[in-house]
DNA sequence: CTCGTGACTCCCG
DNA sequence: TCGGGAGCCACGA
């Protein structure tokens, strides 16, 4: 398997356990390109549907949903809440609690 | 080959 | 805390 950035990104996203989230930047970094956050967004656009990726588990570095209100912000929030992720009164997620750190270590 | 796209992130102020 | 500006780069047409 050729290690293409896109493929790694897809694998990473697909591996996020329910109730956990990852930021675009972290995914990009883990996939080998710390500056590829924007590509991750694009990949989500082009592959989230055809690869059935848990796109809702991807948020930005601030712990907030990045989707525009008119693009599914509410849906993503809903899906996350359904997995037990809690939002504060400002719609932020506590990364310390929900950010997916590998599989173990801490 | 060039170009547009993009659900980002960092750095001020 | 928030917003604007600049940087970033893979992919498809």
Using one digit for the tens of pLDDT, what is the confidence trace for A18-69? 999 999 999 999 999 999 999 999 999 999 988 999 999 999 999 999 999 8
Give CA angle at A38 (A37, A43), nearest 5°. 100
What is the predicted pLDDT for the residue at A106?
Answer: 47
Q: What DSSP state is assigned to residue A3? A: -
In the structure encoding, which two tokens stand for residue A81, read together?
A: 């809440």
- Nearest nucleotide (C1') to alpha carbon of A90: C1
- Nearest nucleotide (C1') to alpha carbon of A42: B6
Mean of all residue pLDDT scores within chain A = 91
Closest-CA residue to A59 (of A71, A76, A79, A42): A76
Residues 36-95 of A with CB under 7 A from strand B: 37-42, 44-45, 48, 55-56, 58, 60-62, 66-68, 71, 76
In the structure encoding, which two tokens stand for residue A14, read together?
A: 């697909």
* 3-state class (DSSP) for residue A19: coil
Question: Is pLDDT at A70 greater than 80 in this prediction?
Answer: yes
Question: Is pLDDT at A104 greater than 60 in this prediction?
Answer: no
């Amino acid at each position: 398997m050729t290690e293409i950035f896109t493929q790694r990104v897809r694998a990473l996203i697909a591996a996020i356990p329910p109730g956990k989230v990852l930021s675009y930047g972290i995914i990009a970094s883990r996939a080998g390109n710390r500056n590829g956050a924007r590509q991750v967004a694009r990949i989500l656009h082009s592959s989230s549907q055809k690869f059935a990726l848990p796109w809702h588990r991807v948020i930005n570095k601030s712990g907030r949903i990045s989707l525009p209100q008119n693009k599914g912000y509410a849906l993503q929030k809903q899906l996350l809440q359904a997995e037990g992720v809690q939002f504060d009164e400002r719609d932020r997620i506590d990364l310390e609690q929900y950010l997916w750190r590998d599989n173990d270590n801490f």
